[in-house]
């Protein structure tokens, strides 16, 4: 059964990593050539307005939610996102995504169970429930893809907005977050086939497509 009555063959998940900007033209071409529907994560709208725009972190939404455009994207919010927070930027209908933490992965519409840690990982599960035959992920760079000194100096940038160290946690916390996301991706890949198609910290899931 498709997710919320939604079914797509090819889905591209667009995260907010700087590799989206660095590969912008190739990525736009890839999406067009493969007739992809897109699921956007957080503040990535300088690249495109996605077909579906997923928010799970209330802090990120409070900071960047102004970027949404409900005339261009169907909004998706975690079921745990308070309605008063959602209404800061959106008062219309939206898709409520119910998920819960579990060591066992049970991917079903009414409750997506597993370990996800990041919205981009959860989006892979959602794309799977949309019965996608191909799931490609862009902009899932990881917080520590680039060398610490390069990020701190602004020579390299973590996100597709701002310059240098743009995350809201320390470098050390970023290392821990990357380790957690790596574990989640490795476990989810036992149930769902997906490819990360832009340079990423999670190299075992990277496939060169662009």
Q: How confident is the model at residue 36 (pLDDT cuts 50, 70, 90)?
A: very high
Q: Where are the domains of the chain?
A: 10-205
Q: Which residue's structure tokens are 């035959």?
A: 133
pLDDT of residue 78: 97
What element of type H or E holds 97? strand 95-97
Q: 105 or 165: which carries more pLDDT confidence?
A: 105
What residues contact residue 141 under an 8 Å CB cut-off, 6+ apart?
15, 17, 18, 19, 158, 198, 199, 200, 201
pLDDT of residue 2: 67
DSSP letter, residue 79: T
Averaged pLDDT for residues 175-193: 96
Highest mean pLDDT among 97-101, 146-150, 174-178: 97-101
pLDDT of residue 166: 80
DSSP for 25-78, written as a single string: HHHHHHHHHTT-EEEEESS-TTT---SEEEE--HHHHHHHGGG--TTTSEEEEE
pLDDT of 53-89, one tens digit each? 999 999 999 999 999 999 999 999 999 999 999 999 9
Q: Is the pLDDT of residue 1 over 80?
A: no
| Tokens read off for 145 | 């893809």
């Amino acid at each position: 059964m498709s997710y919320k009555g939604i079914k797509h063959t090819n889905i591209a998940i667009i995260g907010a990593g700087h590799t989206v900007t660095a590969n912008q033209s190739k990525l736009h071409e890839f999406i067009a050539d493969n007739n992809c529907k897109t699921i956007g994560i957080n503040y990535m709208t300088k690249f495109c307005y996605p077909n579906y725009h997923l928010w799970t972190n209330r802090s990120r939404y409070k900071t960047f939610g102004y970027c949404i455009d409900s005339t261009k994207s169907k909004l998706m919010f975690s079921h745990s996102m308070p309605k008063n927070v959602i209404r800061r930027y959106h008062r219309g209908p939206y898709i409520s995504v119910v998920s819960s933490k579990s060591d066992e992965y049970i991917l079903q519409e009414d409750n997506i169970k597993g370990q996800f840690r990041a919205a981009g990982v959860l989006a892979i599960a959602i794309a799977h429930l949309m019965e996608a035959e191909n799931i490609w992920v862009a902009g899932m760079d990881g917080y520590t893809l680039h060398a610490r000194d390069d990020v701190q100096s602004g020579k390299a940038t973590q996100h597709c907005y701002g310059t240098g160290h743009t995350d809201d946690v320390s470098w050390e916390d970023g290392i821990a977050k990357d380790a957690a996301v790596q574990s989640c991706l490795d476990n989810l890949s036992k149930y769902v086939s997906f490819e990360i198609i832009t340079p990423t910290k999670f190299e075992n899931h990277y496939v060169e497509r662009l």
